[in-house]
Amino acid sequence: MPRFTVHVRDEWLAIPCKDIACTVGWLGKEALRRYIRNKPDNGGITSLEDVKFYVRRCQGLGLLDHADVLEDVLEDNDFVEVVIEGDVMSPDFIPSQPDIHLYTIYQEPEKYIFLDGNSLNTEDLLDLGKGLYKIKLTSEAENKVRQSRELLESIVKENKVVYGITTGFGKFARTVIPKSKLKELQENLVRSHAAGVGKPLSPERSRMLLALRINVLAKGYSGISLETLHQMVEAFNASCLSYIPEKGTVGASGDLAPLSHLALGLMGEGKMWSPKSGWADAKYVLQAHGLKPVSLEPKEVLRIFNLFKSLSSVFKRISKQIIFYAFLTDIHNLRPHPGQVEVAFRFRSLLDSDHHPSEIAESHRFCDRVQDAYTLRCCPQVHGVVNDTIAFVKSIIQTEINSATDNPMVFARRAETISGGNFHGEYPAKALDYLAIGVHELAAISERRIERLCNPSLSELPAFLVSEGGLNSGFMIAHCTAAALVSENKVLCHPSSVDSLSTSAATEDHVSMGGWAARKALRVIEHVEQGTVHLKVVF
């Protein structure tokens, strides 16, 4: 029997349909009837006959006509929203709903990237985030996962006391949990730790986070079951993405809040997004894609948690945004930092050649000026260190992407588990603070060059580059926009990784604050990108 998932205000309802020749109007009324029946006050509706409503598909938000026949406009397990006339907004509305184009242009990929836990690179990660590929595990990775799980199951069977497997977590590490309660322990851990706040990560970043989690679990040091890992892969391939708030992590023990929300959706609880459904209850999204909720076994929750990879998933390629000027090879060979040398080379390539001599150099042949301002003269040095910063951070992130960060670690070949601290996020936290500071300089030096162009006392050009000043303001506000972005970046560049607040009853007594480092770095990068695009459009 066909079934449709219908959203009415704050409720998701599963509506079975015995006759697909029924109309959209019938579906809307049936959903409203069930909604009213479930409310003590009938949802404030006195008569169903007096209610005026609209019906639209969740995918693309297209309106449906009440007379449309269901079999003509909807598919089995489709998602539909009923909007009551007079309601301003559904109380269940999620503020950062992805743009409508994400629903309409999404095409399910046909190509796959094979993950083994060791060879994922940042370019592939970005492509996975964009939804360009599905995921498959290598056979070698599957074998390692099986061996790791077999060791863990033997530990449970023998009633050994091992942190996170047969005990509680954090401050409760000495509390031994009965075998009959181990499954309940996993579920309780997810629910209690899903305490993040703020708007959800975008589908692109959620895909990257899920892909990173799958990649590290594929290393075979986690003890997760192959069945659970396959379910995670299936959820990724169907683009079923949990609601993951961006705030709530202190950068220790594996981004507990964000990854709890990731796990919660996979369990069929909380909210989930897919191109087919938009935001809906996770259980309905999974059902619509023919997937079953993950049933977590001992230690599997900790395996999903102990990964400081939500930092890595905000990594962006930005080095190609740089503007270049020319300088002599002899100068830069005397201070041969790779980024500085490369930037100077690009300057020369763009602005001077045998076929196209530099017009700038020619115009200054008889100039009495000895040297230019730093913002012009020191471009290779300033832009160069940004290049080197990005390369350094990329190397840190690349290592993180393919690192095992679990605790305890399961060594199947040695038949033992060992506790350690690979979950600590200090490496990416420090690197991302450094990235924010480095990238900020691109905007800072660029804003000073805009000032030199717009200020007639510096440029010897008309004020704000406009011939009829006063009648026209020229590029006055373009410069203000750039200055505003740079000013905000200066505050954001204060490093978060120098701070630490003790949590978990002083068990986690030094944390990296890497989640905030990641979000700040991302915002700085966005400001630089916005400023670049804005100024390209204006100038």
3-state secondary structure 442-502: HHHHHHHHHHHHHCHHHHCCCHHHCCCECCECCCHHHHHHHHHHHHHHHHHCCCCCCCCCC
Compute how many other C-beta atoms are within 10 angstroms of the C-beta atom of residue 50: 7
% of residues, the chain, pLDDT over 90: 24
pLDDT score recorded for residue 379: 85
pLDDT score recorded for residue 299: 53
Q: Is residue 173 helix, strand or coil?
A: coil
Quote the CA–CA distance of 14 and 183 in Å, as a whole number: 28
Q: Is the pLDDT of residue 313 over 60?
A: no
CA of 344: how far to CAs of 33, 275, 381, 441, 528, in Å?
A: 70, 45, 9, 17, 21
pLDDT score recorded for residue 2: 83
Q: Which residues are paired to 38 by β-bridges?
A: none
Residues 479-484: contacts with CB under 8 Å, at least 24 apart? 479/447, 479/450, 479/451, 479/454, 481/531, 481/534, 482/443, 482/446, 482/447, 482/450, 482/531, 482/534, 482/535, 483/447
**Does the annotation mark 243 as catalytic?**
no
Look over the chain and give the mean of its residue pLDDT values, rounded to a whole number.
80
222 falls in which pLDDT band (50, 70, 90)?
confident
Q: Is the pLDDT of residue 327 over 80?
A: no
> Which residue type occupies 315?
F
Question: What is 324-534's CATH superfamily?
Answer: Fumarase/aspartase (Central domain) (1.20.200.10)
Compute how many other C-beta atoms are within 10 angstroms of the C-beta atom of residue 307: 30
- Domain boundaries along the sequence of the chain: 3-84, 112-289, 324-534
* Interval 10-38: pLDDT, tens: 788 889 988 888 999 999 999 999 998 88
CA of 118: how far to CAs of 121, 126, 140, 218, in Å?
A: 9, 17, 11, 9
Can you give the length of the chain in residues?
539
Give the distance, in angstroms, between the CA of residue 503 and the centroid of all CA atoms in the same chain: 25
Name every residue whose Cβ is closer than 8 Å to that of residue 48 and which is 6 or more positions away in sequence: 29, 32, 33, 36
Quote the CA–CA distance of 445 and 485 in Å, as a whole number: 12
pLDDT score recorded for residue 321: 38
**Range in 117-126, 129-138, 459-468 with the lowest mean pLDDT:** 459-468
Q: What is the dihedral of CA 142, 143, 149, 150, to 10 degrees?
A: 150
Quote the CA–CA distance of 13 and 21 in Å, as a whole number: 20
Tokens representing 206 are 């959620």
Quote the CA–CA distance of 117 and 222 in Å, as a whole number: 11
Local structure of residue 63 (DSSP, 8 states): E
**Range in 172-181, 259-268, 511-520 with the lowest mean pLDDT:** 172-181
pLDDT score recorded for residue 291: 94
CA of 356: how far to CAs of 215, 352, 362, in Å?
A: 49, 6, 11
Q: Is the pLDDT of residue 170 over 70?
A: no
Question: What is 112-289's CATH superfamily?
Answer: Fumarase/aspartase (N-terminal domain) (1.10.275.10)
Quote the CA–CA distance of 346 and 386 in Å, as a whole number: 15
In this prediction, residues 64-75 reach a mean pLDDT of 90
> Which residue type occupies 396?
I
In this prediction, residues 117-129 reach a mean pLDDT of 91
User: What CATH architecture does domain 3-84 belong to?
Assistant: Roll (3.10)
pLDDT score recorded for residue 136: 97
Of 112, 163, 374, 427, the active-site residue reads: 163
Quote the CA–CA distance of 46 and 44 in Å, as a whole number: 6
Asked if 400 and 428 count as a contact pair (C-beta separation under 8 A), the reply is yes
Q: Is the pLDDT of residue 324 over 70?
A: no
Asked if 127 and 133 count as a contact pair (C-beta separation under 8 A), the reply is yes
Break the chain down into helix, strand, coil percent, rounded to 5. Answer: 50, 10, 40
